[in-house]
Copies of this chain bind each other. A is one copy, B any other.
Amino acid sequence: MAGRIHNFNPGPAALPVEVLEEAAESLLDFKGSGMSIMEMSHRSAAFEEILNDAVARLKRLLKLTDDFKVIFMQGGASSQFFMVPMNLIPEGSSADYINTGTWSTKAIKEIEILKKRYKVVASSEDRNFRYIPKDFSFTPGAAYVHITSNNTIKGTQWATFPTTDGQPLVADMSSDILSRPFDAKPFGLIYAGAQKNLGPAGVTVVIIREDMLEREPKNLPTMLRYSTHVSKNSLYNTPPCVNIYMVQLCLKWLEETVGGLEAIARINKEKADLIYGLIDSNPFYKGTADPDSRSLMNVTFRLPSEDLEKKFVAQAGGNGMGGLKGHRSVGGCRASLYNAVTLDAVRDLVAFMKDFAQANA
């Protein structure tokens, strides 16, 4: 659409333009109801249809069996960092964590605050989280094994998920959920803030396997129990309706316009390959993640100097390409290639990168 930039933001991030157009129409009068989607009761038939459709689409896209429950929560992945250990570690048990970056570290901080038992069974902190650990073993009987599937800041991603000895996996998939197919069977719980691949910020998807609910301790505040939200179909209290609506539109787009997870995975691979291909062939750019640990969602790279990095981000901005600055904690540059970022946008970025290297080498 005219006037819109190529948006490589790390999150909140690009949304499909078709989704935004449909949402804009519903902002004053949702499907002839005479009210905005933002003015409708969360207990109306129209909203329940949106909610149930979003759940059904997510289950179809991820091929979830019926023992998985999908709920919409608030508070972001940051709230899941404490809710997971609060709910899923039975008395006397402990949990395993794999530390692959900033978000894993934050998750570990919260289990520490709760004084629950845990073990960091692998970490890539020794080389500033440039890689996904390969050698690790799990604690027998651990309540779960927590991983961060994609590391937005460090630019790494689990290419395949670790095989446990039966301990359920728990994953923060905030920045790569729905970017590719995967087998959900080994997972006890998956959580994801919406603001990368699912929709706008303000809603968090939690996928929980039914048997995990049995671990819930007594005396947790009502809102902090997964069972509250599962038993009420995310309607125990007023949910973030407009955010859930946007998620539903994004899921519809992914299913009907893109054609599902196999299709988006091919496109996402092609997008990432274009940039990594340039980085590997042009010494002006230097990827920061180990090649076998590279993220297909967040491509992190450095230029010969910080001054050139600033110039790169500024010139890209002038050329209609935004969001390319690296996270403030690590510097450098980063191109986030979530589902809504088009192949054309990436082609334009790669062309710009080539020109910029030539002009500044």
User: Chain A residues in contact with chain B, CB under 8 A?
Assistant: 1, 3-5, 7, 9-15, 17, 20-21, 23-24, 27-29, 32-36, 38-43, 74-79, 81-82, 86, 109-110, 113-115, 193, 195, 199-203, 219-224, 236-243, 246, 320, 322-323, 328
Question: CA of A246 to CA of B109 in the docked complex: distance in angstroms?
Answer: 33
Question: Which of B36, B82, B322 lies in contact with A224, CB distance below 8 A?
Answer: B82
Residues of B within 8 A of A77 (CB): 237
Question: CA of A33 to CA of B14 in the docked complex: distance in angstroms?
Answer: 13
> How would you classify the secondary structure of chain A's contact residues: helix, strand, loop or mixed?
loop
Contact B12 A222 (CB under 8 A): no
Contact A240 B201 (CB under 8 A): yes
Which residue of chain B has the shortest Cβ distance to A224 in the bound complex? B82
Question: CA of A114 to CA of B203 in the docked complex: distance in angstroms?
Answer: 26
Question: Which of B23, B42, B202, B238 lies in contact with A241, CB distance below 8 A?
Answer: B202
Contact B38 A238 (CB under 8 A): no
**Would A237 and B78 be within 8 Å (CB), given that A3-B34, A243-B202 are in contact?**
yes
Question: CA of A318 to CA of B291 in the docked complex: distance in angstroms?
Answer: 63
**Would A200 and B38 be within 8 Å (CB), given that A4-B29, A29-B4 are in contact?**
yes
Residues of B within 8 A of A219 (CB): 113-115
Contact A223 B75 (CB under 8 A): yes
Q: How far is the CB of A275 from chain B (nearest CB, A)?
A: 20
Contact B12 A202 (CB under 8 A): no
Q: How far is the CB of A344 from chain B (nearest CB, A)?
A: 15
Contact A41 B12 (CB under 8 A): yes
Q: How far is the CB of A10 from chain B (nearest CB, A)?
A: 8
Contact B14 A223 (CB under 8 A): no
**Would A36 and B15 be within 8 Å (CB), given that A222-B113, A224-B82 are in contact?**
yes
Question: CA of A137 to CA of B336 in the docked complex: distance in angstroms?
Answer: 59
